[in-house]
Structure 1
Amino acid sequence: MSTENTQDEATSRYVRLQVELIVELTDTEALTSAALDQIGEDEYMPEDERGHAEDAVRRDEAEALAYLVDPFDLVTSVPGIELVQASWSSAHTDYDPDDEEWDLYEEDEAADEDG
């Protein structure tokens, strides 16, 4: 077995899963309250970081959402995998469902035609 084959086999063990979600904020008070509750219950968060997190959540609903959504939860029940690394962010965006920019299915169809 050559070194190249070994590297290909090792590389193929890792998969990058990209997920993009657009959510509509329907109750910002409930969202903020839930995020503050979660921050308050986090026994591992240092107190100085807790104050900063609470302030950020009170000022920005996108921050509140980021504290509540955990990518680890997406894969913990999937058999045969172990999460190696994760990062996520949340930001306000302009969304127009009629704008072609937001037609995610069109991108998938184009990729299928190219492949």
Structure 2
Amino acid sequence: MTTEYDNSGTDETPARYIRLQVDLVMEITDSEELTRAAVEQIDGDEFMPEDERAHARDAVQRDEAEALAYLIDPFGLVNGVSGIELVQASWSSAHTEYDPDADDWDLYEGEMDEE
């Protein structure tokens, strides 16, 4: 875990807003189950307009990354955390090559150098 604070040498209190960046790499172990869960999520969304629902169903059935994006809920990650209110969230998912032994996948690289 890495935290950074820079107040540029001023006596001001820290900013009230914090950007939390998280990188996750997930392996798809059952594409059909993932797609089915995404379609169920879309079908259960009472606020989604029907034309958007049809487009969303098509997208998740063609691409697992789209299916995952429909299932991830950043609001759910912070819901119930005392003392905060989520004011903005953005997320995306995309297929990627993954090699756990490659240097660019070392999630703790910066932390080890700081110690």
TM-score (norm 1): 0.86
CA distance in 1, matches of 2:21, 2:77: 12
Following superposition of structure 1 onto structure 2, how do residues 1-115 of structure 1 map, counting pairs within 5 Å? 8-9=12-13, 12-110=15-113, 112-113=114-115
**Equivalent position amino acid for 1:87 in 2:** S
Structure 1 vs Structure 2: percent identity of aligned residues? 66
CA distance in 1, matches of 2:110, 2:53: 40
User: Where does structure 1 lack aligned partners over 5 or more consecutive residues?
Assistant: none
CA distance in 2, matches of 1:68, 1:27: 14
How big is each residue's C-alpha offset from its partner over 1:82-113, in whole Å with a ceiling of 9 and x where there is no partner?
00000000000000001111011112323x35
**Equivalent position amino acid for 2:59 in 1:** A
TM-score (norm 2): 0.86
**Equivalent pairs, count:** 106
CA distance in 2, matches of 1:44, 1:72: 16
Helix, strand or coil for the counterpart of 2:108? helix
CA distance in 1, matches of 2:99, 2:68: 20
CA distance in 2, matches of 1:107, 1:29: 37
Higher relative contact order (CA 8 A, sep 6+): 2
